[in-house]
Structure 1
Amino acid sequence: MLKKKLFKPFAASLLSFSLLAGSFTPELTTDSTQTAEAALPKTATKVTVNEVVDGDTIKVTYKGRKETVRLILIDTPETKDPNKCVQLFGPEATAYTKKYLLDKKKKVSIELGVQTRDKYGRILAYVYVNETMFNRLLLQNGYARIAVYPPNTQYLEQLQVDENKAKKAKVGIWSSTSAINGGCAPIKKPAPAPKPKPAPAPKPAPKPAAPKKETFKNCTELRKKYPNGVKKGHPAYDAKHDRDKDGWACER
């Protein structure tokens, strides 16, 4: 009897544990994979961004040298090509690149491609802001499209996914047929200069005040002041003193 009493609690405990274990299914975690995808490549090198030429071209200090870097696998609309117009979304792509890469608070690094330089001597690279590939950000926001130049195709499939999502969302260059076909951005005409106000008409010069009329009773009184008499038009001239009507009054 004692053995049976002892066995029942033990058997019940064993059965409960077995049921509990059977209902537990271990979940797979992808944390390590996500961390690996988000982590900065070991081959990436920190740079200082000095200037943004346009959406896909920047000037940096790399290993103590001034270099021009062209982002791999993407192409943003033109803004500086002397043989092309400023294309739709070109200025926006440049502004977006400036916003992210000229921020001194962010760490910018580059990962060189298999082919490290192009025919112009520019470094060919994937650019990272902190641990995010900036090439992908441009594609995701519709500021760039895929441009393949083998052998630099390391992340092509990943970037194609980003481009396809932007196309479906119709963002950036994918928002209009003209932009997709490389159409020109409208030229902003300078605001017309305000018309100068006409100069006010010059005020006429004030007429000189007429000389005050002088009156004398007779020529004797007039000659006390004007011994030789006065000519017609003089303030003291009076026709009654010009008896011979020669234009002189009280002449001698």
Structure 2
Amino acid sequence: MTPRRKLPTWLKVTLGAFAALFTLAAIFGASPDNPATPAAATTPAVPTYTVTNVIDGERVYLRDSTGVPKTVRAAGIDAPTTTYCWGPETANWATTFLAGKQVTIRALDQGMETMAALTLPDGTDYSTEALKRGYAKYAPGVTDGTYATALQTAENTARAANTGLWGAPCLGTIDAPTPSPATTLPATTTVTPPKPPTSPTTPPAPTTPASTQDSAPVAVYFKNCAEAKAAGAAPLHRGDPGYRPQLDRDHDGTACE
């Protein structure tokens, strides 16, 4: 029987070292010379869109970074169209507020139109701002939770202050044309003629007796010649006051001779 040959000590040490390395590689999946580096967690980038056109207070045209267009309707609001009450004001404000701006969207409904929350770079939510300024009314059904509460609060603020469409002439109506202003007839003014100035009572001017030439002849009657003579009027000639044929006996034109 041939005796077993013993392995040299150096060989045992070498084989043991390799066995240990193999075990470590099996456990950790990498050798000490090439340790594995854990993969860093990455968050997908949120796509950004540019507002290219504003249709009205609800709908906007967007374009992504590659130039692909997209139509989005702002979630949670109901805004008047340009032909209805407060529609032109809403469209002008929305154009100033959004046109050319960068926004991110959070789609809430993917029906015929993409219903989404639009957020500006500073964190401003478009629907909330439109409600707070009185350019839209809250439209329930799409939003819920804290977002719906924020939208309702924004509308209540505008309604309480009669802001925008909540004031005259719309008074909260956004589905009808702007009411025509009531025609007010001018008030009738009665003009009272001024009273003549009050002057002290002036006594009537004394009456100047008319001249004898202008006055009518005074009727004089003498009962007889004695009365005429007593009055100093005799003799009486024809034409003199008091002359009458009965006193002229000889009818020569002179009476009471």
TM score, norm. by length of structure 2: 0.47
Which has more radius of gyration? 2
Higher strand share: 1
